[in-house]
């Protein structure tokens, strides 16, 4: 009789990120909006959201371009070449084309071919969803070394005449190399969706008959999203910790989706975590949707806060309505 196979886990072996060079501070955005007759202020944006700046991609720069830079940094950090990757998953709600997948375009830009490459659409929960799917594929033997990416150009779907949304979002990409491992790695994952709330955060338009049909810009009921987000972020954090038989005290770093500093502070308070364990990048990045969690992870790894062996709780929440979390030892 064969000995039972040793359990297979996954671990992150490298992180990377990329922001397009154009940084738009609140004051510049206030001036740009004023020129369109839209009134806002640095004080309102900072107090209500914690956002001081965001980055916008230049015309012609797509999600796959931002993803490419992030992936190169992640591969370098992992000490891997692109041709050693056997799975590419890109979380994005702002793909380069209707089809094929941004992941296929990214694969070509990385100069490799053959491995499976697909996009995953769960809006701001996209990275946490993509990490969960890649983790499952690696643990069950379907892949051994994956690039998991969040990449967005939300500036393309913003209505710059709607001050309740256009001040919130930015562009960017973050990536990790996820590898099969004898030891975890990813300790537990927890994903959810509730399609009853499709309408509170959406881009309702589509393409048909050679035209854009309906409204192709982001629409959000901010207060409804806020209320749901604070509840589910606490719930999924507790669930994923219970699944891993860990407690709040074991969390070295909390990286929630970077949408609004008030939502993030509320989550820290509810989980009774020391505020210094919260990683914050929303101030400089704005809300970059699926890119926000890997961008924040890479920022804190590169500035030396998050170290190998630390326990990190990643949380996503966004359109769908979707939410979830991944608990991992780096
Ligand atoms: N500048 C100045 N005033 C503004 C602006 C602005 N940019 N935007 C709104 N206001 C005004 C409103 O018109 C309103 O004025 P009134 O009182 O005269 O009617 C007032 O400010 C308050 O508006 P509220 O909507 O009540 O503001 P709130 O405190 O709820 O903050 C916000 C709005 C920041 C959008 C908040 O609700 C929020 O963060 N929601 C959650 C967003 C989120 O988490 N998204 C995550 C998912 S993203 C994804 O999945 C793509």
pTM score, whole prediction: 0.96
Mean pLDDT of the chain: 97
Q: Is 74 in the pocket of ligand 1 (CB under 6 A)?
A: no
**Residue 241 φ/ψ region, left for φ over 0, alpha for ψ in the -120 to 50 degree band, beta for the rest:** alpha
CA distance 179 to 85: 9
- What pLDDT was estimated at residue 4? 62
CB burial string 274-294: b at 16+ within 10 A, e below: eeebbbbbbebbbbbbbbbbb
Cα-based angle 174, 95, 28 (whole degrees, multiple of 5): 65
pLDDT tens by residue, 43-84: 999 999 999 999 999 999 999 999 999 999 999 999 999 999
Domains, in order of start, for the chain:
9-181 (3.40.47.10), 186-329 (3.40.47.10)
The rounded Å distance from CA 154 to ligand 1 centre is: 17
User: Strand pairing partners for 103?
Assistant: none
Pocket test for ligand 1, best of 27, 123, 164, 287 (most atoms within 8 A of CB): 164
- What pLDDT was estimated at residue 294? 98
CA distance 203 to 16: 28
Is 265 tagged catalytic? no
Q: Distance from CA of residue 150 to its chain's centroid?
A: 5
The rounded Å distance from CA 164 to ligand 1 centre is: 5
pLDDT tens by residue, 125-163: 999 999 999 999 999 999 999 999 999 999 999 999 999
pLDDT tens by residue, 110-132: 999 999 999 999 999 999 999 99
Is 124 tagged catalytic? yes
Is the CB of residue 195 less than 8 Å from the CB of residue 148? Answer: no
């Amino acid at each position: 009789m064969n000995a039972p196979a040793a359990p297979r886990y996954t671990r992150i072996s490298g992180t990377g990120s990329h922001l397009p060079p154009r940084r738009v501070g609140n004051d510049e955005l206030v001036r740009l909006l004023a020129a369109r007759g839209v009134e806002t202020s640095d004080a309102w944006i900072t107090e209500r959201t914690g956002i001081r700046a965001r980055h916008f991609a230049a015309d012609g720069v797509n999600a796959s371009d931002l993803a490419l830079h992030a992936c190169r940094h992640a591969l370098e950090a992992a000490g891997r070449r692109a041709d050693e990757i056997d799975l590419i998953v890109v979380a994005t709600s702002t793909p380069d084309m209707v089809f094929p997948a941004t992941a296929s375009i990214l694969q070509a830009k990385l100069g490799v071919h053959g491995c499976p490459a697909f996009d995953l659409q769960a809006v701001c929960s996209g990275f946490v969803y993509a990490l969960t799917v890649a983790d499952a594929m690696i643990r069950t033997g379907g892949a051994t070394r994956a690039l998991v990416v969040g990449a967005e150009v939300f500036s393309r779907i913003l209505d710059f005449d709607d001050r309740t949304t256009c001040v919130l979002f930015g562009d960017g990409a973050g990536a990790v190399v996820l590898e099969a491992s004898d030891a975890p790695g990813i300790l537990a994952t927890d994903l959810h969706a509730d399609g009853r709330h499709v309408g509170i955060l959406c881009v309702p338009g589509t393409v048909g008959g050679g035209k854009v049909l309906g409204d192709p810009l982001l629409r959000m009921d901010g207060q409804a999203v806020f209320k749901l987000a604070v509840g589910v972020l606490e719930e999924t954090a507790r669930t994923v910790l219970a699944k891993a038989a860990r407690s709040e005290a074991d969390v070295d770093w909390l990286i929630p989706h970077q949408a609004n500093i008030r939502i993030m502070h509320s989550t820290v308070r509810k989980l009774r975590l020391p505020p210094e364990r919260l990683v914050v990048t929303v101030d400089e990045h704005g809300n970059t949707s699926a890119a926000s969690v890997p961008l924040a992870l890479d920022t804190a790894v590169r500035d030396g806060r998050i170290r190998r062996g630390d326990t990190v709780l990643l949380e996503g929440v966004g359109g769908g309505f979707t939410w979830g979390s991944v608990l991992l030892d780096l």
